[in-house]
């Protein structure tokens, strides 16, 4: 269920982002690769003693490299560097905030919550970290705590529209009607608050109040024609049964963001509904150019090609979809056992952790986080030689899985 778009405070080099907050985690809350391997290896600490100037200098240099990697699309490398930088200066709110966002992107919500807590402790009066913490709590299923924190901030700053907006975001998973009322209050005081209107529209869509959602999203795309807004409008129009309008909205989304794989996929779905097989196939090919491992897109392509008479092409895409589904199932099983092993290790049950991690490796030997966590377990058990082998295997599979320093 899609919740609400979040933005970030623009201070400290962070940029405003439009993302559905509830989409931050998939697969039942399981930690994904870098999250398991890096985020849970140690704990994010709140603000502590002042770090040395050398640590601070190193942290800023590592942070700069992480930002560059993010800009190049290397999310895995950026996350590893951000983790290093946060360890050097755990009381730097900018670094902790960026680490938290990186952890959210890979689904490591528990670790992200701790990073946000560290950012809030380091900058208690800054609205950005508090909003980040509230949204991470919502996404991790702790809406009650999120609402409590957001309501406290809104009560302390009754004239702060953004604090009220954050409260609406927090309420969105707990009490939709209350969230709608809060967003209405925001828009009454600040009609140009586009993010509030966008989130208000997403809630209307969730309640199947599609005409109202479409009207609000049309206002959003006029005020701020981002690809996310066009895509959301397309989805609302599609669910309302307006294929022609949805196509126009999805085309606007891919015009604004040519690599928007889901907008290309939905274009393919919409063209297929009109039996325009040629344009459907072309849109789906574009989606696969940018997201070749999307099983659902391969399945849709198989149906389109079968309907257009290309039996061989349909067979290939159906087979690829089935292969991807099986691979995803194996990886999910490996994640489950890796997550279980990591939790046992963090609970000081190294033997239990090792058993779970060996099960993960037996299911998928190429799953790097399992080898990484196995190295931690073996190291905890004092088997340095086996630990070295496990860490080496992890780094061979993923060069960014660097062996963590000894716990202090």
Residues 109, 138 contacting (CB under 8 angstroms):
no
- Say if 315 falls within a structural domain: yes
At 107, is the pLDDT very low, low, confident or very high (cuts 50, 70, 90)?
A: low
Rounded mean pLDDT of the chain?
84
Q: Across the strands, what pairs with 5?
A: 20
State what percent of residues in the chain have pLDDT above 70: 84
What is the per-residue DSSP string for 281-318? HHHHHHHHHH-TT-HHHHHHHHHHHHHTT-HHHHHHHH
- Say if 369 falls within a structural domain: no
Six token digits for residue 6 = 């979040």
> In total, how many domains does the chain have?
1
**pLDDT per residue as tens digits for the range 90-106:** 889 999 999 889 888 86
**pLDDT per residue as tens digits for the range 130-174:** 999 999 998 888 889 999 999 999 999 899 999 999 999 999 988
Find the domain containing 318 and state its range.
Answer: 258-364
What is the per-residue DSSP string for 203-215? HHHHTT-HHHHHH
| Gap between the Cα atoms of 62 and 81, Å rounded | 6
**pLDDT per residue as tens digits for the range 249-288:** 999 999 999 999 999 999 999 999 999 999 999 999 999 9
- Say if 138 falls within a structural domain: no
The CATH number assigned to the domain holding 358 equals: 1.25.40.10
Residues 6+ positions from 283 with CB-CB distance below 8 Å: 264, 265, 267, 268, 271
- Say if 61 falls within a structural domain: no
- Say if 224 falls within a structural domain: no
Look at the pTM and tell me if it is higher than 0.95: no
- Say if 319 falls within a structural domain: yes
| Gap between the Cα atoms of 195 and 197, Å rounded | 5
At 243, is the pLDDT very low, low, confident or very high (cuts 50, 70, 90)?
A: very high
Helix (H) or strand (E) holding 144: helix 143-156
From the list 389, 385, 383, the residue with the least C-alpha distance to 361 is 389
- Say if 329 falls within a structural domain: yes
Residues 51, 88 contacting (CB under 8 angstroms):
yes
- 278 CB burial (10 A radius; 0-12, 13-18, 19+): exposed
């Amino acid at each position: 269920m899609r919740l609400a778009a979040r933005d970030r405070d623009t201070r400290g080099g962070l940029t405003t982002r439009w993302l559905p907050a509830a989409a931050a985690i998939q697969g039942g809350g399981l930690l994904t690769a870098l999250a398991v391997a890096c985020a849970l290896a140690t704990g994010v600490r709140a603000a502590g003693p002042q770090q040395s100037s050398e640590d601070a200098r190193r942290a800023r240099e590592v942070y700069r490299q992480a930002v560059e990697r993010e800009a190049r699309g290397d999310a895995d490398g950026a996350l590893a560097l951000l983790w290093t930088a946060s360890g050097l200066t755990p009381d730097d709110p900018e670094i902790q905030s960026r680490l938290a966002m990186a952890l959210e992107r890979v689904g490591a919500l528990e670790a992200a919550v701790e990073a946000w807590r560290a950012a809030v402790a380091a900058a208690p009066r800054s609205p950005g970290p508090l909003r980040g913490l509230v949204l991470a709590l919502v996404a991790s299923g702790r809406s009650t705590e999120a609402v409590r924190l957001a309501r406290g901030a809104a009560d302390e700053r009754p004239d702060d529209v953004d604090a009220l907006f954050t409260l609406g975001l927090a309420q969105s998973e707990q009490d939709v009607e209350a969230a709608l009322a809060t967003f209405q209050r925001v828009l009454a005081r600040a009609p140009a608050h586009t993010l509030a209107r966008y989130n208000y529209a997403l809630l209307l869509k969730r309640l199947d109040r599609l005409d109202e959602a479409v009207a609000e999203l049309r206002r959003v795309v006029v005020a701020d024609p981002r690809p996310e807004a066009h895509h959301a409008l397309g989805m609302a129009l599609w669910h309302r049964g307006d294929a022609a309008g949805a196509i126009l909205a999805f085309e606007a989304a891919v015009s604004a963001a040519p690599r928007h794989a889901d907008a290309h996929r939905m274009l393919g779905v919409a063209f297929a509904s009109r039996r325009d097989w040629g344009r459907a196939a072309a849109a789906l090919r574009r989606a696969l150019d940018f997201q070749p491992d999307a099983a659902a897109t391969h399945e849709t392509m198989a149906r389109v090609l079968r309907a257009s008479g290309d039996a061989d092409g349909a067979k290939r895409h159906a087979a690829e979809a089935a292969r991807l589904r099986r691979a995803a199932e194996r990886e999910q099983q490996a994640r489950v056992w890796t997550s279980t092993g990591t939790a046992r290790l963090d609970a000081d049950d190294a033997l239990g952790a090792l058993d779970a991690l060996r099960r993960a490796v037996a299911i998928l030997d190429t799953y790097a986080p399992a080898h990484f966590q196995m190295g931690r377990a073996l190291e905890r058990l004092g088997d340095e030689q086996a630990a070295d082998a496990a860490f080496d295997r992890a780094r061979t599979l993923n060069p960014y899985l660097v062996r963590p320093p000894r716990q202090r």
